[in-house]
Chains A and B, each alone.
Chain A
Amino acid sequence: MDVVTLASQLNAGTIIPEGIVTLTLLVVLVGDLIAGRKSASWLPYVAIVGLLGAIAALFVQWNGTSDTIAFLGAFNGDALSIVFRGIVVLSTIITVLVSISYVRQSGTSLSEFLSILLAATIGGMFLCGASELVTVFIALETLSIASYLMTGYTKGDVRSNEAALKYLLIGAASSAVFLYGASLLYGLAGGETQLDRIGIALSQIETPAIAPVVALVFVICGIAFKLSAAPFHQWTPDVYEGSPTPVVAFLSVGSKAAGFAFAVRMLVTAFGSLTEQWHFIFAALAVLSMILGNAVALAQTSMKRLLAYSSIAQAGFVLIGLIAGTESGYASVIFYLFAYLFMNLGGFACVILFSLRTGTDRISDYAGLYQKDPLLTLTLSICLLSLGGIPPFVGFFGKIYLFWAGWQAELYGLVLLGLITSVISIYYYIRVVKMMVVKEPHEMSETVKNYPEVSWNLPGMRPLQVGIVLALVATSLVGILANPPIDLAKASVQRSPILQASISPAKEVAVSRFAPVQSSEFRVQN
């Protein structure tokens, strides 16, 4: 093998975005080393510029070559991975915007936080495209270990330490289970580590064997932990409550999006022959997540715990699109994650701002906030209502697209359950809105009475304001202008060979009953 073919086989151009993020990480580290503490004032902007560069590189790739397989099949930079990597990077950008003043106030070093966050982003981005077991595991662990570090980042805070330990223990256990599942796959496939070859090997096992199913269950354990889908959700509320809030924001969106990308790729390519089984398991996970997440959220008194349970429930909704397994099903997953990115990060940005100004995140402390801080009230209300699926915000369009795709794929039970549980969710989201908007001045909480004068001139507050306004605008308008993002999601599904292969002919026949072919005949007759 000469150098030229090796270079073309490596096809290293596909990981330019990751390269840019790695370079940014190095610049942040070295900048901190040289300039010391003073660098905290400009390092976040370096990170943001680097991440924007990664987005630009992803954009170039989207319009670029069709040769997407890199590193001898270890990484697949197809359209699907580009879209998911874009979501991960976007979530990191917003996380950086909202974290600056929070990390400053906690008295810890900002540059270290940024470098761990960028490391987690790199892990997440690689996870979106990893198509070989070893790469998958390394990417997964990069993301996980960086996340453990971030959850325990405020070292002085006992709750942060507790959260980090819990997350580490449960995460390590689930990684171990996943690794065991991967080792089973390695054995079953006769020493193959590439996901597509494993898929072929598994499909050739004719007699009903228990081993592939065991491997599937173990792999799903690892995935569901990342998605925080019930019953693998136990870590979520505690970790969300204890960790620094910007970290939670990243975990709930960036890490989750990477988890979904990983789930789609792993299950579709490696377990293509076990589609029925994994659909069944995911349906169970979706049902449990929707019921448990929404029901338990009703009883929460802490804002961060409420958002934790809401994120469990939202994962349940997204799983409907995954189970549908049709083109619109996958597209609705991507669109919903895109919508979720803005509304959830907007919600967290508001929680961060409120806790910066008051030092609390109890729901009852938000009472009467509208009088003191209209922007915060408006953004948090709109983000929460959007999460609850109230039109005309983006969450409604995302949810209706998921349910639409689910219903089209004949998942009537799941869609009905989703509709019912989203009614429950409206109740607890609006409880917070009610606290902020409805309470009279004399019912105002002590915290809000002592609310500091709204001032954006403190260091680190401008980026937070930018983050909040960005989330507000996106949450209110992306729904109304939903056509381009939905087209993008659909195009990414159409251009990803692995998904095209999996959208089974049987499903398409079932769907084509609803397609315009038949009805146009009717129209002609009429």
Chain B
Amino acid sequence: MLTPLLVIPLIGAIAIVLYPDAKKSWVVATVFCLLSFGWSLYLLSQFDLSFGGLQFVEFHQWVEPLGLNYSFGVDGLSLPLLVLNSLLSAIAIHTNRKDLERSRFHDSLILLVNAGIAGALIAQNLLLFVIFYELELIPFYLMIAIWGGKNRGYASTKFLLYTAVSGLLVIAGFLGTTFLSGSPSFEIADLQVQNLDSVPKLLLLTALLLGFGIKTPLVPLHTWMPDTYVEASPATAILLGGILAKLGTYGLLRFGLQLFPDTWELIAPVLAVVGTVSVIYGAMNAIAQQDIKRMVAYSSIGHMGYILVAAAAGTELSVQGAIAQMLAHGMILALLFFLVGVVEKTTGTRDRSVLNGLMNPIRGLPLTSGLLILAGMASAGIPGLVGFTAEFVVFQGSFATFPIPTLICIISSGLTAVYFVILINRTCFGKLDNASAYYDRLEVNDRWPALVLTAIVLFLGIQPNWLLRWMEPTTTSLAIELHRPAIARVAAIDTIHQP
């Protein structure tokens, strides 16, 4: 059931190389992307909503001496992300296509990335996860280095080094988890984490937190991210921010919270503080930016902070909010990067002090500006859009555990509104400079991906149940796992007090 998610894009990547007409590579790429998107929707339809464990499990022995198995499965945490992955790949292929050089290579790299991320999301074996996690590195590096902006050499190297260090920490953490606990193999189901003492557990969790924290990115580890997002082409930025960064938070939930529940509970206050700092830092920096793409990049740091706060709180509702926020943020960020990419391509600048009056219905970019306003509203958490749903669940779920960090987060979601108002005010409103505003007409390709994303953002905002229903059983079992020690303590107190 899950293998097609891996095989379809890989075959697609090879098919593109073999397809004779380089200019038409996007057709092949789209076909394969839609196939894998369709397959992920089919999985969604077959998904058993009443069961919190792994579904569609596949298991084959692979490299037995290493304890590496071909072992796949999905639950409510990974399945929605898989759908997002296929969706964003299709969007990325149609982003900024005009005059794309080396389009064949570009499209096969996107499909490779798609396969890699899908593999990481469904892998149920630590080594298998590492393989897919590291597989991303080279395609993304090449995408940034070939199709990036002016400073792409610097940005791509920085991305490479940070991501490689992230992979290193994750491998070290996994090797440690398996061998120190005496687990028989790298299967997640086989891990005997309970055999570990608290100090090794803390060390291993720290290694994993740092590793996934770089990918997410969380605040002290984020310095690669603004450079990379800004220098990357819009298509690359959509994939980087929309889905690759989610592998970081996915790792935090899957390998932090799920594997080390009691240690997670121990350090949760620290994580909540780190998350809150990320939120404030991202918002403040976004306000200060002149470059609108950089503004969007910093907004992403802030929104990833919510996920960490919610994951730290670890209640059923907050974890659900964290996953919902991953999806919502993935779509909204992709939309923002797409629109900013269109603005940049048409006007030739990203400087908010130069841009003006794009709302102008005749010579401006009315549709793009309108969608930009909508995307800004979604990102700021205006009710009726998907961002609100996710943030509301995050805040509601986290408030009981961490009232003060949650309050600070709520306040800084107001700051989000501040910088989006600045952005929209400067770029969309005002008077269009008639002297320079001779823009090319937009093509169909510059419109429909944004419209599709907007439609989904609107639909899930009005019908939030469609967003939240998938993860409910999984988050319930996760939260029970996390609070088992506390429940046991309460039970123990109860038995003492009973005569």
Contact = CB atoms under 8 A, between A and B. Distances in A.
A, B: real partners: yes
9 contacts: A391-B132, A391-B135, A407-B175, A419-B168, A419-B172, A427-B160, A486-B65, A519-B184, A520-B184
A503 interface: no
Interface string B124-148: 0001001110110110011001100
Contacts of B66: 397, 400-401, 404, 482, 486
B113 interface: no
Contacts of B184: 515-516, 519-520
A180 to B, nearest CB: 40
Interface string B361-405: 000000000000000000000000000000000000000000000
B131 A415 contact: no
Interface in A448-503: 482-483, 486-487, 490
Contact of B65 (A328, A396, A416): A328
Contacts of A516: 184
B127 A518 contact: no
A482 B61 CA distance: 12
A350 interface: no
B272 to A, nearest CB: 30
Contacts of B192: 519, 522
Interface string B146-174: 10000000001100110011011001100
A477 to B, nearest CB: 13
A408 interface: yes
B161 A423 contact: yes
A41 B158 CA distance: 50
Contacts of B65: 328, 331, 401, 483, 486-487, 490
A437 interface: yes
B197 interface: no
What 5 A-B pairs have minimum CB-CB distances, sorted nearest first?
A391-B131, A516-B184, A423-B164, A438-B145, A519-B184
Nearest to A431: B157
B168 A390 contact: no
Given A401-B66, A514-B182, A427 B141 contact: no
Contact of B146 (A397, A437, A519): A437
Nearest to B185: A516
B134 A415 contact: no
B179 interface: yes
A404 B65 CA distance: 10
Nearest to A422: B168
A396 B134 contact: yes
A177 B146 CA distance: 52
A404 B172 CA distance: 10
B172 A391 contact: no
Contacts of A482: 63, 66
Given A419-B172, A514-B179, 15 more contacts: A331-B65, A390-B135, A390-B137, A391-B131, A396-B131, A396-B134, A423-B161, A426-B160, A426-B164, A434-B145, A482-B66, A483-B63, A513-B182, A514-B182, A519-B183
A423 B64 contact: no
A522 B183 CA distance: 10
Interface in B168-206: 168, 171-172, 175-176, 179, 182-184, 190, 192
Contact of B179 (A391, A401, A408, A434): A408
Nearest to A403: B175
A430 interface: yes
B62 interface: yes
B104 to A, nearest CB: 11
A416 B165 CA distance: 12
A430 B141 contact: yes
Interface of B: 62-66, 127, 130-132, 134-135, 137-138, 141-142, 145-146, 156-157, 160-161, 164-165, 167-168, 171-172, 175-176, 179, 182-184, 190, 192
Interface string A399-425: 011011001100000011001101100
A385 interface: yes
A48 B64 CA distance: 34
Contacts of A331: 65
A440 B175 CA distance: 40
A249 B183 CA distance: 41
Contacts of B190: 519
Interface in A260-306: none
Interface string A434-446: 1001100000000
Chain A binding surface, main DSSP class: helix
A525 to B, nearest CB: 11
Contact of B142 (A392, A426, A437, A483): A437
A140 to B, nearest CB: 32
Contacts, number: 88
A279 B288 CA distance: 57
Nearest to A381: B138
A385 B138 contact: yes
A390 B134 contact: yes
Nearest to A481: B63
Contacts of A401: 65-66
Contacts of A423: 161, 164-165, 167-168
Contacts of B62: 483
A430 B168 contact: no
A404 B184 CA distance: 13
B171 A419 contact: yes
Contacts of A416: 172
A128 B130 CA distance: 35
A400 B168 CA distance: 11
Contacts of B131: 391-392, 396
A359 B127 CA distance: 43
Contacts of A385: 138
A415 B160 contact: no
Given A391-B134, A407-B175, A430 B160 contact: yes
Contacts of A407: 175-176, 179
Nearest to A512: B182
Nearest to A404: B66
Nearest to A519: B184
A433 B164 CA distance: 16
A302 to B, nearest CB: 21
A392 B135 contact: yes
A515 B190 CA distance: 13
Contacts of B127: 400
B478 to A, nearest CB: 19
Nearest to B146: A438
Nearest to B134: A391
Contacts of B168: 419-420, 422-423
Contacts of A426: 137, 160, 164
Nearest to B157: A427
A521 to B, nearest CB: 11
Interface centre among A404, A482, A487 (most CB of B within 10 A): A404
A24 to B, nearest CB: 35
A445 B420 CA distance: 45
Interface in A367-406: 385, 390-392, 396-397, 400-401, 403-404
A519 B63 contact: no
Nearest to B145: A438
Nearest to B190: A519
A236 to B, nearest CB: 26
Interface centre among B62, B130, B182 (most CB of A within 10 A): B182
B138 A390 contact: yes
Given A397-B63, A419-B168, A419-B172, A438 B179 contact: no
Contacts of A427: 157, 160-161, 164
A198 B236 CA distance: 63
A163 B146 CA distance: 39
Contacts of A392: 131, 135
A518 B182 contact: yes
A55 B132 CA distance: 36
Contacts of B156: 434
A514 B62 CA distance: 20
A482 B63 CA distance: 6
Contacts of A438: 142, 145-146
B156 to A, nearest CB: 8
